[in-house]
Chain A
Amino acid sequence: MSTTRPPIDSPAIRRLTTVLGPGHTFGSVTDKISSIVLTRPTSFGWFVGFAMAFGFTALMTIAIGWLFIKGVGIWGIDIPVGWGFAIVNFVWWIGIGHAGTLISAILFLLNQKWRTSINRFAEAMTLFAVACAGIFPLIHTGRPWMAFYMFPYPSTMGLWPQFRSPLIWDVFAVSTYGTVSLLFWFVGLIPDLATLRDHATTKAKQIIYGMLAMGWRGSVRHWHRYQSAYLLLAGLATPLVLSVHTIVSFDFAIAIVPGWHTTIFPPYFVAGAIYSGFAMVLSIAIPLRKAYGLEDFITLRHLDNMAKVMLATGLIVAYGYFFEFFMSVYSGNKFDVFLVNQRLHGPYSHFYYALILCNILLPQSLWSYKLRHNVPFLFFMSIIVNTGMWLERFVIVVISLTRDFTPSAWGRYQPTFWDWATFTGTIGFFIMLLFLFVRVLPAISIAEMRELVAETSEES
């Protein structure tokens, strides 16, 4: 131990590492968070942002409507690339959701106090990302109105779904994930909904929040049951952080296509999911704390921690890239070696270099303490990582499919306007849901922040 370093719990260190700004009481925390929903007038900026997001949502609706009329031929997919944007976007969105579950479940079980002020909107982000993700496998089936065939119900066909197909595994993984995330989010919201009910300014708000609060009175018995339910749900959600993206990776890994058929896919997909998820949490947290003046609640400590998680998971992803490469070359399998060549020198190699730049090289800047505390830079970095993770899925899908075993079956992939419309449309949809969420529900857990006030005041 170096003697020049200040002891870990000195006031100087604590001020830097605080998870809650100084001087907050139960009342001030409650007022600050609930006022965003209840009393503050809706700002002009909110309307502008909402209108833009709504415009993109409308674009998505049009794109999907046109798809239902014309069929998947309006997309750039063809043989050999039969998957294209739909699967790229599906994997990207479902990955983004993972950070929310990690923050709310795993960090809860590990008793990490810094999760408190970010878990609520991270969980909301998970739900909205799962909603966006769910759109793609549904609409890529060609006949989405037959999508219920994928559920195992006693059909008049005397058949069950093909349980050996990863598409069916996806159905189970994603629907379980969606359900557990929704329950977890809603159970966490109940005490806050009661707070909103009690602070409501109009009769209508009182009734709506009152119904959603399901008769919460804050009695000791309520809290007791609430805490066991929350703990159980956290336990249920924890394995999902690992299992959902593992199963998504099986979509690729159980196929024999070069570049997909590797055992490293599950762990590296999970790491990538958390990587992009934390990037998205940062992309949301930074504008949110700025717009509503929540710097006391979402402190630099939070941003710093999230940047560190990004750095760590980014390194795991880099490890995955390296071993994908190494095993291809080391195995000597000519198709795998050829794939490596395609990534480095093929027609889509610039996507691969962009991916390496976004996911591996640029994030190394997060080693710097100064840059981790530079908020605009972090925001920039989070966008970079999100872009990089999208590119990763693009590279996996497109480079492997355009040039596989038989040169006569090679082809190219070119997304069309409708591909882009659907993709940007889901981004708009996601942002629109976030705007609505911030406006009608507490973006930060009031109840847990009050607990945090109690704990930090005990310490001081």
Chain B
Amino acid sequence: MAQIFHRSTNFISRFSVFSFIFMMGFAVLAVLAAARSPYLTRQNITRQQPIQFSHKHHVGDDGIDCRYCHTSVETSAFAGIPPTKTCMNCHSVLFSNAGYLEPIRESYRTDKSIEWVKIHRLADFVYFNHSIHVNKGVGCSTCHGRVDEMPLVFQANTLLMQWCVECHRNPAPNLRPMDKVYAMDWTPTPDQEELGKKFMKERNIRTTAELTSCSTCHR
């Protein structure tokens, strides 16, 4: 009886069995890697804004405090996007004829808001509150990165849930003295371990079980 398969089939079948295992493994790894990639998390991606606004210039060079524009960060869930009037506090005098500020003046004249492009987009099913974080001593730059070095703001962290819960499981390393919350250049000092424990106690920061309970963030 003639052979059905050529001799090479032996090799092909063995090769395909083994390569199937590797390919499946690779496919799983690829999906896991894609979920963490900037393509899906938007980390490190800058976006065109309607106005050439530089955080680097305003925060880094001029030294304006975060709260000057983001006024509600200490009292509300939303840090607040400044109204055009905030811009005009200075720019009615400074660079009042600059061409690239025309959209600001137009917005002021017509009473139409500037449509800023949102960079930090959390999922709708996440309840996030800025005020509780800054009032317990988590600084802006912990989540938003060195905004004073960003001409165009980008998302410095992944905003993946694993990134959130990493800190919720152990907040102590990220707790600052209260006067450093808005400092862009804060880095932990060697005694952070003790300080962190102290702040946890002083500020009545809840237990890990409470901080990582589902309904803390998914209400």
Binding site for B on A (CB under 8 A): 153-159, 197-198, 206-207, 210-211, 214-215
Contact = CB atoms under 8 A, between A and B. Distances in A.
B32 interface: yes
Contacts of A210: 4-5
Contacts of A159: 161-162, 165
A336 to B, nearest CB: 33
30 contacts: A153-B28, A153-B32, A154-B32, A155-B162, A156-B36, A156-B158, A156-B160, A156-B161, A156-B162, A157-B161, A157-B162, A157-B165, A158-B160, A158-B161, A158-B162, A158-B164, A158-B165, A158-B166, A159-B161, A159-B162, A159-B165, A206-B4, A207-B4, A207-B5, A210-B4, A210-B5, A214-B13, A215-B9, A215-B10, A215-B13
Contacts of B5: 207, 210
Contacts of B87: none
Contacts of A157: 160-162, 165
B10 to A, nearest CB: 7
Nearest to A156: B160
A156 B13 contact: no
Contacts, number: 36
Interface string B1-33: 100110001100100000000000000100010
A404 to B, nearest CB: 25
A214 B35 CA distance: 38
Contacts of A154: 32
A197 B161 contact: no
A322 B9 CA distance: 61
Nearest to B1: A198
Contacts of B28: 153
Contacts of B166: 158
A183 to B, nearest CB: 14
Interface centre among A155, A206, A214 (most CB of B within 10 A): A155
Interface in B47-78: none
Given A159-B165, A206-B4, 20 more contacts: A153-B32, A154-B32, A155-B162, A156-B158, A156-B161, A156-B162, A157-B161, A157-B165, A158-B160, A158-B161, A158-B162, A158-B164, A158-B165, A158-B166, A159-B162, A198-B1, A207-B5, A211-B13, A215-B10, A215-B13
B1 to A, nearest CB: 8
B5 to A, nearest CB: 6
A206 B5 CA distance: 10
A215 B158 CA distance: 50
Interface string B147-167: 000000000001011111110
B165 A156 contact: no
A278 to B, nearest CB: 36
Contacts of B10: 215
A239 B1 CA distance: 44
A194 to B, nearest CB: 11
A419 B165 CA distance: 40
B4 A156 contact: no
Contact of B4 (A158, A197, A214): A197
Nearest to B40: A156
A61 B158 CA distance: 39
B187 to A, nearest CB: 24
Nearest to B165: A158
A129 to B, nearest CB: 26
Contacts of A156: 35-36, 158, 160-162
A158 B164 CA distance: 9
A155 B13 CA distance: 34
A180 B36 CA distance: 34
A431 B160 CA distance: 46
B18 to A, nearest CB: 14
A155 B165 CA distance: 12
A210 B164 CA distance: 54
Nearest to A207: B4
Contacts of A158: 160-166
Interface in B130-183: 158, 160-166
A211 B32 CA distance: 33
A158 to B, nearest CB: 3
Contacts of A206: 4
A197 to B, nearest CB: 7
Contacts of B9: 215
Contacts of A207: 4-5
Across the A-B interface, give the 8 residue pairs with the lowest CB-CB distance, nearest first.
Answer: A158-B162, A157-B161, A156-B160, A158-B165, A210-B4, A156-B35, A206-B4, A156-B162
A96 to B, nearest CB: 30
A155 B36 CA distance: 10
Nearest to A210: B4
A156 B5 CA distance: 46
B162 to A, nearest CB: 3
Max count, chain A CB within 10 A of own CB: residue among B4, B36, B161, B164: B4
A159 B217 CA distance: 14
A348 to B, nearest CB: 35
A207 B13 CA distance: 13
A37 B160 CA distance: 54
Contacts of B164: 158
A157 B158 CA distance: 11
A158 B167 CA distance: 11
